Structure 1
Amino acid sequence: MTLDLDLLITNAEIVNADGRVHGHIGITDGRITTLLAQDVDQLPSAARTIDAGGKLVIPGGVDAHCHVEQITGDYKSLDTFRTATTAALHGGTTTIIDFGIPADRGETPIAALRNKLDLIEGARCDVALHGSVLAWDATVPAQLDEMAEIGVRSVKLYTTNRGTTMADEDTILRVMKEMVRLDGLTYLHCEHDAIVVDQTETCANEGLLAIGHLPRSRPELSEDASVREMIAVAEHTGAPVYLVHQTTPAAVRAAAEARARGLRVFSETCPHYLLLDESVYDSDSPEQFACCPPMRPEATVRGLGAEVALGNVHTIASDHSCYDLAQKRERCHDMRRMPHGLPGVETRMPAAYTAVVTRGGLGVERFVELFATAPARINGLRTKGVIAVGYDADLVLFDPTETRRVDGAALHQGSDFSPFGGLDLTGWPSTVVSGGRVVLDEGRFTDPGPVGRFRERSGFSES
């Protein structure tokens, strides 16, 4: 055999979402160019060979929900594309999808998106983008056309957060119709705004605005009601929709029932909703868990895990939003004014693996589906999420028994804490290959430089 390779990974247990095999992986020019059976007589030559030694090798992770260098209200998240993607690679994620969300009503959707395209220049791994619309006007269809031409085939809409990111019902309906025209996907943050506002006002009247009272201000009902309402709008418009960070089994079941009726509805959850419950708000540092939606009661967390086991959840994303403790604590006495969101791009792999495999008892194949394959497929990243000839050489080697305790201050996320700080998590990457480059080698990181590419996405019907 005379095939010369840039990189050869031998003696690997190769795990895809649809099964596993023992074999060898050959890589040239950033792509997987050959897969060989374990018992092949002769291996090709390669510039470098890594002996996997029986470790699991899975596709590099695709995190479809990250917020990098995001301005919301008075706050800006702290990491850059350099730090966020460096953290992603440390955590086995080789592609992130960020959002071009207008900083305020004066910034147009296309301007927000182009700003993110400029910032991506510092990325260490591949980056795709979602657009976002806050308010409808006559220019929006042309802006969505321009996004699609750039290769951005999804738009995020918020049903809450009055005065910042919220889109009204007319805007949501009209944008969904435009996304149908453009063969795109509508991302939806679902919390019923009127319920959230009323509950928050009740908390204020009772003097209960400290962050420890967050679950009361954003109850499960607000999510469940908004999910049902948005599914109704999707049914009316015919739009495919992706429901971000679902936290309740009722919301996930509503999406599953919609799919049974023929609707194209996808459910995402996050590791913190599978591993943590609302008791964290009784801790000494409840500000470390300020996110929307909040953590739910223990019984709800168990029910959400059951929905994952049933196959009703499609993806696990981080919803990475990088603030530090100083920002969190500045206004933690008033949950209306403090920044919400958690750093999580680096811990997504071990946290999800712990929830799905170690605690949930599901197979590694199901974890791969949630971590890499489904987010790539649903979002039109056609060369990601699978170990197969022709796909990008994005790979993660790991020992499925290795457990580490999380030290938030020692991570690379641009923050000084993690919501999983002090927890023992299993499923940490030991070696990461991104675009054919070995960036993490048995725990030693080599900065590849600003090699991350903006990745265009195919239309939804082509995915």
Structure 2
Amino acid sequence: MIEGRIPDLVVAHALAVDATRARPAHIVVHRGRIAAVLDATEPVPAATRVIEAAGRVVIPGGVDGHCHVAQITGRYRTLDDYALTSRAALWGGTTTIMDFGIPRDGTETPLAAARNKLELARQARCDVALHACVIAWDPTVPDQLAELADLGIRSVKVYTTNRGTTMADDDTVLKVMREMVRLDGLTYVHAEHDAMIVDCTERHAAAGEAGIRHLHRTRPELAEETSVREVLAMAEYVGAAVYFVHQSTPGAVDLVGAARAAGLDVHSETCPHYLALDERVYSAEFPEWFACCPPMRSPETVAALRERFAARAIDTIASDHSCYDLTQKRERRDDIRQMPHGLPGVETRMPVTFTMLSDALGAPSDPAVLQRFVEVFAAAPARINGLPGKGAIAVGYDADLVVFDPDRTRAVVASDLHMGTDFSPFDGQELRGWPQIVIARGRVVLDNNGFHDPGPTGQFVRRRGYRAADNDAGSSELVSTFRRESGNPLVWVP
């Protein structure tokens, strides 16, 4: 066969799992995309490289819809960049991350913040998509949002708390929602009731309880659920599609579920730490490891949230990755109003999520468990956010693939991770679902020989509108260029 006429890669004898099915298959890859998914009973096609999966599970590369990379908030900056965080994502089986263009202060516009992230993302090793962020409304914002949509940035995040830094007032939230309806976009919301949190925090501070050990008492569940109610009312009024980030209580999830049942386009996201940890961490030796907002909840709340997760009431799971180190965390551990909040998690999202889900639903190798995992880990984040070519093992989709053994376990060792910080909130936990082979756009970046840095090969993914046609591969020309010739293996026909 002449040079260049065979596919680049075949993952042979895999259990190929996406959100809708699991089947034994050979996955054929060429020019960065999936060229064919063949029944595993057929001969293995010739290829430049063949990876023998030997019955192991192969899933679509993960899509992490909520990451903060090189983020400046107040006087703190996360200690990462796109090269570092994208490598950590790949180590963790995530092949697409979604970051936020959050204005660093009142002088930076939403458009400028997003353009800055686009420039920084040139160093990414995995694919990148972006959300915009609006903090304060002015007459230029509608045109900025339209320009962002033209760039393929089709969502805007608003915060209902964090006054003085990232908080948007109700007028701004409502106006952003209305613009997102006009632009066929999605409104991301960090929902916590600011007045309740400020009052509660000030009362605890007056009693000498402003340190990190009291974080969970200063941001009550009611504050989250009250804000969700208010945002849902605004979404209903405007007719907006809304995505709630990092929901930490079953009550918040239930409110979104009821609104969806009533016909609203609304979605729930949670994070691995809200499923795996509870408020007892604030009484542990290193409570600063767990400074995040919302905080960890009571054991009873966590158990109920896990039930919602297992019952499909939660759409997606995202890391909310924020890469501070312990020096930054400990500088003001005496005052939660001054310390940086956020946890590193882009690399551990896969094993924590898979462990929590398989523990809740049964045997890790059960196809139903695997399909549900793919749904929250890759398929739903891709679908909801309009990411073409992501989240499925299908012809024409990007060849983002992860091979793993669902029964294999490994303990988290923070010093072995790659996120550019010196701790993990999951340090010491025994988890299953660690990636063994990771393929990003057809490049093998992780295998038994270690990590193979592809360099700055990540691509910016232009997103489709929220209500646009169902996500498809958009590459029918690729499908037609593969065929069998005279009974020979699948060959490339340019």
- Bucket of the pairwise TM-score, normalised by the shorter protein: over 0.9
1:52-72 deviation per Cα after TM superposition (whole angstroms, max 9, x unaligned): 011000000000000000000
SS in 2 for 1:4: coil
Aligned-partner residue type, residue 105 of structure 2: D
Aligned pairs for 1:278-293 within 5 A: 278-293=279-294
Aligned pairs for 1:221-260 within 5 A: 221-260=222-261
Residue 424 of structure 1: aligned partner? 430
Residue 373 of structure 2: aligned partner? 367
SS in 1 for 2:79: coil
1:10-34 deviation per Cα after TM superposition (whole angstroms, max 9, x unaligned): 0100011111000100000000001
> CA shift at 1:382, angstroms?
1.9
Aligned pairs for 1:49-448 within 5 A: 49-361=50-362, 363-442=369-448, 444-448=450-454
Residue 455 of structure 2: aligned partner? 449
CA contact (8 A) 1:358 1:426 kept: no
Instruction: Give me the CA root mean square deviation.
Output: 1.1
C-alpha separation between the residues in 1 aligned to 2:285 and 2:23? Answer: 47
> CA shift at 1:309, angstroms?
1.6
1:63-93 deviation per Cα after TM superposition (whole angstroms, max 9, x unaligned): 0000000000110001100000000000000
Residue 12 of structure 1: aligned partner? 14
Residue among 35, 38, 42 paired with 2:40 = 38
Residue among 14, 26, 29 paired with 1:27 = 29
SS in 2 for 1:131: strand
Specify the structure having the higher radius of gyration (Cα): 2
1:306-334 deviation per Cα after TM superposition (whole angstroms, max 9, x unaligned): 11122110000000000000000000000
Aligned-partner residue type, residue 177 of structure 1: R
CA contact (8 A) 1:104 1:164 kept: yes
C-alpha separation between the residues in 1 aligned to 2:114 and 2:464? Answer: 17
C-alpha separation between the residues in 1 aligned to 2:448 and 2:464? Answer: 34
> CA shift at 1:359, angstroms?
4.1
Aligned-partner residue type, residue 24 of structure 1: H
1:145-177 deviation per Cα after TM superposition (whole angstroms, max 9, x unaligned): 110010000000000000000000000000000
> Under a length normalisation based on structure 1, what TM-score does the superposition of the two structures give?
0.99
> CA shift at 1:44, angstroms?
2.3
C-alpha separation between the residues in 2 aligned to 1:154 and 1:420? Answer: 30
SS in 1 for 2:28: strand
C-alpha separation between the residues in 2 aligned to 1:52 and 1:327? Answer: 42
> Under a length normalisation based on structure 2, what TM-score does the superposition of the two structures give?
0.92
> CA shift at 1:43, angstroms?
3.0
Identity of aligned residues (%): 60
C-alpha separation between the residues in 1 aligned to 2:191 and 2:448? Answer: 40
CA contact (8 A) 1:125 1:434 kept: yes
CA contact (8 A) 2:306 2:360 kept: no
Aligned-partner residue type, residue 375 of structure 2: E
SS in 2 for 1:102: coil
CA contact (8 A) 1:7 1:46 kept: yes
> CA shift at 1:300, angstroms?
0.3
SS in 1 for 2:11: strand
1:240-279 deviation per Cα after TM superposition (whole angstroms, max 9, x unaligned): 0000000000000000000011000000000000000000
Aligned-partner residue type, residue 399 of structure 1: D
Where in structure 1 are there 5+ consecutive unaligned residues? none
C-alpha separation between the residues in 1 aligned to 2:231 and 2:218? Answer: 21
CA contact (8 A) 1:159 1:166 kept: yes
C-alpha separation between the residues in 2 aligned to 1:232 and 1:168? Answer: 15
C-alpha separation between the residues in 1 aligned to 2:336 and 2:62? Answer: 33
> CA shift at 1:357, angstroms?
1.2
SS in 2 for 1:62: strand
C-alpha separation between the residues in 2 aligned to 1:188 and 1:137? Answer: 19
SS in 2 for 1:239: coil
> CA shift at 1:179, angstroms?
0.3
SS in 1 for 2:59: strand
> CA shift at 1:371, angstroms?
0.1
> CA shift at 1:360, angstroms?
4.2
- Number of matched pairs: 462
SS in 1 for 2:47: strand
Aligned-partner residue type, residue 374 of structure 2: V
C-alpha separation between the residues in 1 aligned to 2:413 and 2:310? Answer: 29
Whether 2:466 is the aligned partner of 1:460: answer yes
Aligned-partner residue type, residue 311 of structure 2: L
1:351-372 deviation per Cα after TM superposition (whole angstroms, max 9, x unaligned): 0001111344361110100000
C-alpha separation between the residues in 1 aligned to 2:436 and 2:311? Answer: 30
C-alpha separation between the residues in 1 aligned to 2:47 and 2:13? Answer: 15
1:222-247 deviation per Cα after TM superposition (whole angstroms, max 9, x unaligned): 00000011000000000000000000
1:195-219 deviation per Cα after TM superposition (whole angstroms, max 9, x unaligned): 0000000011100001010011101
C-alpha separation between the residues in 2 aligned to 1:35 and 1:422? Answer: 38
